[in-house]
Amino acid sequence: MSDGPASPLSVMLCDDSATVRNALARLLESDPAIRVTLRAGHGAEAVSALARLPAAERPQVILLDLEMPVMDGMTALPLLLRQAPRPAVIVASALTQRGAATAMAALRAGAVDYIPKPDAAGGGLADPAFRAEVLAKVRGWARVGRIAVPAAAGARAAPARVPRRGMKAIGIGSSTGGPAALAALLQGLDRPPPVPLLVTQHMPARFIGMLADHLDRLGQLPCAEARDGEALRPGRLYLAPGDRHLLAESAGAGLVARLSDAPAENFCRPSVDPMLRSLATACGGAVLAVILTGMGQDGLAGCRAVAGAGGLVMAQDEASSVVWGMPGAVARAGLAQGLLPPAGLAAQMLAACGARTGPAAGHAA
């Protein structure tokens, strides 16, 4: 006997512009699996509307503008998150340095993700890339909820499923849902890995520096945008800067960062594939590739290069991924030697590098 069709997922829109609310509602409801059930013009209205609803009728996802009169998004966010069941709140911010900083602050305050508002020159809310991103994030976060970091130390120190090897670097690729996955991955580390971590995250250029600051504030290990020619030090995370590929080059016994203006790959610059290819070459195969949540298949060719050189490949599991495009492509190709949520991947990263678990170490010197 059939259980019948699944109920549409419920969304609240909170934006001070009625035009934006109407446009977002049309965008979201173009997907028959999504229904906009509440609209609010400012934070206080959203909090009040949510509180009046029975718990069973509250929306699963809230799209929350950050800049509004009466009550802005940052003020409303903790009040919305107190509701039970706790909604997944995706914040919308301007494509500016200030907007990026506020969006990252919202992630630290409990938002699950962000959406950069496109400007009119780029097609505005009608931009196909913006539409795809909004739909993917709303569907994904309604499905997986917030990526949780295990509280128990025992969960962090899961038995190794990969062999201990003398890795020289870790290369991480992520896209849609990546900031939360990266944060959960870092918070799952009980000490910095004894190798440098290189990360390519697809996001607007203005947001990269703020993401580096956001990850750095977590305190697990120092995080910063990579600079051309700098030595890549163990226990540090280097983010590919906006609109440039991040590559690694051997230099004596270590590695240095190289930034490249080469053409986009997989419609992306920075792209995960050139980063992983360079690591496979520079490290002689002694590299671990980790592919996190994201649309498309950027990282697949790079993981083939890593595996072909004798390195290891792991990917985020489908259940915890907002979008299982990038990790799913690696899994379907038979390249992943482990499929785990971010905290599980953290334990395997340490195991693959030969690091033993122990008390949290915080920032490396």
Residue 271 is among the residues annotated as catalytic for this protein: no
Work out the burial of residue 19: count CB atoms within 10 Å of its CB; fewer than 13 is exposed, 13-18 middle, 19 or more buried: exposed
Residue 214 is among the residues annotated as catalytic for this protein: no
149-176 core/surface letters (b: 16 or more CB in 10 A; e: else): bbeeeeebebebebeebebbbbbbbbbb
State the distance between the two ends of the chain, measured CA to CA, in whole angstroms. 61
Partners of residue 10 on adjacent β-strands: 35
d(CA 266, CA 168): 26
> How many Å is the Cα radius of gyration of the chain?
20
**The dihedral sign for the CA sequence 21, 23, 24, 25:** positive
Secondary structure (3-state) at 191: coil
Do 302 and 171 touch, CB atoms closer than 8 A? yes
d(CA 211, CA 119): 21
Name the active-site residue from 15, 16, 202, 321. Answer: 202
Name the active-site residue from 174, 175, 320, 321. Answer: 175
Residue 175 is among the residues annotated as catalytic for this protein: yes
CB neighbours of residue 225 within 10 Å:
18
Name the active-site residue from 42, 298, 320, 321. Answer: 298
d(CA 320, CA 30): 25
- List, in order, residues 6 or more apart from 37 with CB less than 8 Å away: 10, 11, 12, 57, 59
- Residues classed as catalytic: 175, 202, 298
